[in-house]
Amino acid sequence: MKPNLYRCIFQVHRWTGLTIGMVILMMALTGVVNLFRPQLEPVVNRDLLTVPTCSERVPLDVLGETARAAHTGGRLDYIKLSAGEPGAARMPAARVRFDDPQFDVYMNPCTGAVIDERARYGGVLGTIEQTHILRFSEEKWVRSITGVCAIIFGIVLIGGGFYMWWPRRGGYGRALKLDARLEGRARSMNRHRIAGVYGSLVLIALILSGLPLVFEWYRNGLYTLTGSSLPQKPPKSAPADRDSPRVSMEAFWQKVQALEPNPAHALLKYPGEGPNAPLEAYMVARGASHENARSLLFLDAYNGKVLRYTPYEKASPGFKLYFWMISFHTGSVGGWPMKLILLFGTLMVPVLAYTGIRSNLRRRKSPAAAAAAVPLMPVGVKRIAFEAADIKSFELVSATGALLPAFTPGSHINVSIEDGLQRQYSLCNDPNERHRYLIAVKRVADSHGGSRAMHELVEEGDLLSISAPRNHFALHPAAGHHVLVAGGIGITPLLCMARHLLSIGASFELHYFTRSIEQTAFHAALSAPEFVPHVSFHCAIERGRLRETLHPLLSRRATDAHLYLCGPCGFMDLVEEMAAAAWPAGTVHVEHFAANPLALAGERKPFEVTLARSGGTFTVPVSKSIVNVLAERGVCVTTSCEQGVCGTCLTGVLEGKPDHRDAFLSPQERSAGAKMLVCVSRASTPHLVLDL
Residues of the shown chain interacting with ligand FES in the complex, contacts defined by CB under 6 A: 639-642, 644-649, 662, 664, 677, 679
Smallest separation, CB 418 to ligand FES (Å): 17
Helices 569-579, 546-554: crossing angle, 10 deg rounding: 50
Closest approach of Cβ 29 to ligand FES, in Å? Answer: 42
Under 8 Å between Cβ of 335 and 35: no
Least separation in angstroms between CB 368 and ligand FES: 9
Shortest distance (Å) from residue 133 CB to ligand FES: 48
DSSP for 456-516, please give it.
HT--TT-EEEEPPPEESSPPPTT-SEEEEEEEGGGHHHHHHHHHHHHHHT--EEEEEEES-
> What is the DSSP pairing of strand 265-269 with strand 75-82?
antiparallel
In the bound complex, what is the minimum distance in angstroms from residue 615's beta carbon to ligand FES? 23
Buried b (16+ CB within 10 A) or exposed e, 385-410: eebbebbbbbbbbbeeeeebeebbbb
Which is nearer to ligand FES, 91 or 641 (by Cβ)? 641
Query: Closer CB to ligand FES, residue 66 or residue 639?
Result: 639
Which residue lies nearer to ligand FES by CB, 108 or 640?
640
Which residue number is nearest to ligand FES in terms of Cβ?
679
Residue 102 and residue 170: Cα distance in Å, rounded? 56
Calpha distance 40→312 (Å, rounded): 28
Which secondary structure element, helix H or strand E, spans residue 670, and what is its range?
A: helix 667-672
Whole-number Å distance between alpha carbons of 538 and 509: 13
CB-CB contact of 481 with 558 (8 Å):
yes
Give me the numbers of helices (H) and strands (E) for the chain, helices first please.
22, 29
The rounded distance, in Å, linking the Cα atoms of 482 and 474 is: 12
Other CB atoms within a 10 A radius of the CB of residue 343 amount to 17
Shortest distance in whole angstroms from residue 487 CB to ligand FES: 20
Residue 651 C-beta: closest distance to ligand FES, Å: 9
**CB nearer ligand FES, residue 307 or residue 374:** 374
Please, what is the minimum distance in Å from the beta carbon of residue 412 to ligand FES?
12
Closer by beta carbon to ligand FES, 192 or else 660 = 660
Least distance (Å) from ligand FES to the CB of residue 564?
Answer: 20
SS3 string of 6-67?
A: HHHHHHHHHHHHHHHHHHHHHHHHHHHHHHCHHHHHHHHCHHHHEEECCCCCCCHHHHHHHH
Distance CA 470, CA 490 (A): 17
CA distances to 281, 332, 562 from 223, rounded to whole Å, are 21, 22, 83
CB 358 to ligand FES: min, Å: 27
Residue 224 has a CB neighbour count (10 Å cut-off) of 11
Q: How far is the CB of 600 from ligand FES (least distance, A)?
A: 12
> In whole angstroms, how close is the CB of 595 to ligand FES at the nearest point?
9
By beta-carbon proximity to ligand FES, the closer residue of 492 and 651 is: 651
**Peptide bond between residue 493 and the one before it cis (omega within 30 degrees of 0):** no
Which residue, 482 or 661, has its beta carbon nearer to ligand FES? 661
Tell me the closest approach of the beta carbon of residue 680 to ligand FES, in angstroms: 6
> Is-contact 420 497, C-beta < 8 A?
no
Name the residue nearer to ligand FES (CB basis): 583 or 664: 664
Minimum separation from the CB atom of position 668 to ligand FES (A): 18
Rank residues 290 and 660 by Cβ distance to ligand FES and give the closer one: 660
Can you list the pairs that 104-108 forms with residues at least 24 positions away whose Cβ atoms lie under 8 Å? 105/67, 105/70, 105/71, 106/48, 106/49, 107/63, 107/66, 107/67, 108/51
Q: Which is nearest to 488 in space by CA: 512, 467, 471?
A: 512
Q: Which is nearer to ligand FES, 499 or 660 (CB)?
A: 660
> Which CB sits closer to ligand FES, 587 or 638?
638
Nearest CB to ligand FES, comparing residues 207 and 646: 646
Smaller CB separation from ligand FES, 58 or 645: 645
3-state secondary structure 327-373: HHHCCCCCHHHHHHHHHHHHHHHHHHHHHHHHHHHCCCCCHHHHHHC
- What is the rounded distance in angstroms from the CA atom of residue 131 to the CA atom of residue 27? 8
Q: Which is nearer to ligand FES, 550 or 649 (CB)?
A: 649
CA 426 from chain center: how many Å?
34
